[in-house]
Structure 1
Amino acid sequence: MPEKEKLRIDKYLWAIRIFKTRTMATEACKAGRVKLDGQNIKAAHEVKVGEVYHISKGIERKVVKVTGLLENRTDAKTAVLFYEDQTPVEQRPGFQSMFHSPLLRRDRGAGRPTKRDRREIDDLQEGFFSKEEEDDE
Structure 2
Amino acid sequence: MTATDQARAQGHANGHATVRVDSWIWAVRLTRTRSQAATACRAGHVRVNGERVKPAQHVKPGDEVRLFHAGRERIVEVRQPLAKRVGAPVAAGAYTDRTPAPPPREHVALAGVRDRGAGRPTKRERREMDQLRGARRA
For the aligned pair, the TM-score class normalised by the smaller chain equals 0.5 to 0.7
Q: Distance in 2 between matches of 1:37 and 1:98?
A: 30
1:66 to 78, 86, 90: 78
Name the structure 2 match of 1:49. Answer: 61
Residue of structure 2 in register with 1:24 after alignment: 36
Superposed counterparts of 1:72-111, under 5 Å:
72-89=84-101, 92=102, 96=103, 98-99=105-106, 101=108, 104=111
8 Å CA contact 2:49–2:63 kept in 1: the answer is: no
Q: Greater helix share, 1 or 2?
A: 1
Task: Say which one has the larger Rg.
Answer: 2
Structure 1 residue runs of 4+, over 6 Å off? none
For residues 7-56 of structure 1, give each alpha carbon's deviation from its aligned partner in whole angstroms, at most 9, with x where no partner exists: 10000000000000000000000000001233210000011110001110
Distance in 2, Cα, partners of 1:17 & 1:103 = 34
Mark the CA change 1:98 to 1:67 in structure 2 (over 3 Å): closer, same or farther.
same
- Unaligned 5+ segments in structure 1 are 105-116, 125-137
Alignment CA distance shift 1:55-1:99 (3 Å): farther
Unmatched 5+ residue regions in structure 2?
Answer: 1-5, 120-138
Q: d(CA) in 2 for partners of 1:72 and 1:40?
A: 23
TM-score, normalisation: structure 1: 0.66
Root-mean-square deviation (Å): 2.6
Could you tell me which amino acid in structure 1 is paired with residue 72 of structure 2? E
Would the alpha carbon gap of residues 98 and 82 (structure 1) be closer, same or farther in structure 2, given more than 3 Å must change? same
* Structure 1 SS opposite 2:58: coil
**Does residue 20 of structure 2 align to residue 8 of structure 1?**
yes
1:102 shift after superposition: 6.8
Aligned residues: 106
Amino acid at match of 1:29: C
